[in-house]
Amino acid sequence: MFALLVFCGLTLGQALVFATPVFAAPNPPPLGHKVSAWSRVSATQQRAAMKMGSAYRRFIDSHRTGREVVEYALSKARKLGFAELFGSAGTRAKVKAGARLHASRHGKIAAFVVVGKKPLREGVHVVAAHVDSVRIDLKQTPLYAKGNLALLETHYYGNIKKYQWLSQPLQLRGVVVRRDGKKIKVAIGDDPDEPVLVIPDIAAHLSRYVDKREGEEALGESLDPIISSTPSKKKPKGQDPYAREATRLLESQLGIKIADLASAELQLVPAAPARDVGLDRALVGAYGQDDRACAYAALEAIWQVKTPSHTSIVILVDKEEVGSAGNTGARSNFVRHVVAELLEGQGIVSTAAAVSEVLAASIVLSADTSGAVNPHFPELYDRKNASFLGSGVIWDQSGVHAEILGYVRGLFNRAGITHQASSWGKTRGSKGSESTVLQFFTRLGMDGMDVSIPLLSMHSTYELISKIDLYESYRAYRAFLND
């Protein structure tokens, strides 16, 4: 075809332009709207949703790492009278109806339990959310200097669009364990008067020479932030003056030795504050809402549970963004340990068979955010099966038993919860249950499904959710935990 057009006197560029309509995809159908939860709830519930959204915004602004979320949850649980579940035989908490218990490991995984009226062998109700988010981590020996700058070497955590992290104000947060064993908490850039770190971008005038696609491509090796830009006044032999000054600043401001960075967990996270979005203030914009929005809703639900029918558990897990591995991820034996301790607390020997019997009778809701329709890209969605911001909590039917779908649907209808049956995206390559923690609970014998909050700009440095969806998810988790 191109040969014929060129033969007829057209250049190759003209031929390509002429030929484009032949191969262009048809225009996608309009997305339209889905019924909004704002129009289905009462004025009182609307006010409650706005109030919860404001409290949540303060929460997510103050807790930007998984460790910080778990620390917050454990502190609040203790204030609400939750007792330690993991104790020795002589100090083990009483596991009786109405008992409120907590358990944790390494400050990164935690469970919050309210014991129900029914025997444990009839199963427990679990809401599971992850508290880690995509980020950039420092390497163990990160400091280097060049170009009149001192920088920190990094590697990224989770599936990110690397270019989004360039020229953004970043906080440095985490913990450092010194040589003497003392743990130092780090939060640089949290206060508006504190400095931030920045990964410099290339000038727009030059980017076409280095980007495969201008504005989109950034190498992982280039995600190194500036830590300082002044040389040391001292000039010791054999050491770069910029690296020497950066070393002095780190050691004096953090109270560590530079070698202590080898035993540290330090993360770069966006410094932009959480804000209300839109003139109606109905959305929340913030970093890390995948999945701390669901974690917050689940925690608010378990705090309200008194004496449920089935024992209710909210579990916060780590490492979901990198495969849920390790002893603080959903692949660990933490859930089995929690169930075993509950059995022992009721005087039942926690054999492997006894634990498996409880799990096989249990139901889990995987509380992870899911992608909402982005109106700029309508061709990516099947509007009949897509989730919309503001239309309530999502229940995803991908690979779920019809009986569980029927139970959850009926539960939400009876509780008057605005909900939307949805799957993410139009193609088989879109996110499904294999991308949440659900699979690691169901393989233990539990029934379950994904019940989540719709989110825009997932895995970006600034994600969006609707306050009404947050509120409806809280109500959904509370209804399930109380059922």
Report the alpha-carbon distance of residue 365 to residue 450 in Å, rounded.
6
List Cα–Cα distances, 159 to 115, 213, 291, 458, in angstroms: 37, 19, 14, 10
Alpha helices in 63-100 (DSSP H): 66-79
Return the CA Rg of the chain.
25
pLDDT at position 343 is 96
Model confidence pLDDT, tens digit, residues 9-22: 444 444 444 444 44
Q: Where does the pLDDT of residue 235 fall: very low under 50, low under 70, confident under 90, or very high at 90 and above?
A: confident
For residue 47, pLDDT over 70 is answered with: yes
Is the pLDDT reported for residue 36 higher than 50? Answer: yes
Write out the E strands in 301-346: 311-317
When pLDDT is cut at 50, 70 and 90, the band that residue 87 belongs to is: confident
Sequence-distant (≥ 6) Cβ neighbours of residue 120 within 8 angstroms: 311, 339, 342, 343, 346, 348, 358
pLDDT, mean of residues 230-247: 89
**E-strand spans in 158-220?**
170-177, 183-188
Tens-place pLDDT, residues 296-322: 999 999 999 999 999 999 999 999 999
Residue pLDDT, tens place only, 58-80: 999 999 999 999 999 999 999 99
pLDDT of residue 264: 96
CA distance 440 to 448: 11
CB 234 within 8 A of CB 244: yes
Q: What is the mean pLDDT of residues 376-396?
A: 90
Q: Give the model's confidence band at 355: pLDDT under 50 very low, under 70 low, under 90 confident, else very high.
A: very high
Stretch 320-339: mean pLDDT: 96
**Sign of the CA dihedral 95, 97, 98, 103?**
positive
Is residue 338 scored above 90 in pLDDT?
yes
Pairwise CA distance, residues 116 & 123, whole Å: 10
Question: Average pLDDT of 92-107?
Answer: 92
- The reported pLDDT for the residue numbered 15 is 45
Range of weakest confidence among 63-72, 255-264, 382-391: 382-391
CA gap 74, 77 in Å, rounded: 5
The mean per-residue pLDDT over the stretch 248-267 comes to 95
Query: CA–CA separation, 282 vs 295, rounded Å?
Result: 20
Q: What pLDDT, on the 0 to 100 scale, is given for residue 216?
A: 62
Phi, psi of 118 (to 5 degrees): -75, 155
Instruction: Tell me which DSSP letter residue 224 carries.
Output: -
Residue 461 has pLDDT above 70, yes or no: yes
Domains of the chain in start order, with CATH, are 37-133+287-482 (3.40.630.10), 135-270 (2.30.250.10)
On whether the CB atoms of residues 410 and 442 are closer than 8 A, the answer is no
Residue-level pLDDT at 91? 67
In total, the chain counts a number of residues equal to: 483
- Mean of the per-residue pLDDT values for the chain? 90
Residues 290, 296, 297, 298, Cα dihedral to 10°: 100
466 contacts 454 by C-beta, under 8 angstroms: yes
Give the predicted TM-score (pTM) of the model.
Answer: 0.91
DSSP state for residue 201 in the 8-state scheme: P
Q: For 139-160, what is each residue's pLDDT tens digit?
A: 999 999 999 999 999 999 999 9
Cα separation, 230 vs 42, whole angstroms: 59
398 — pLDDT class (breaks 50, 70, 90): confident
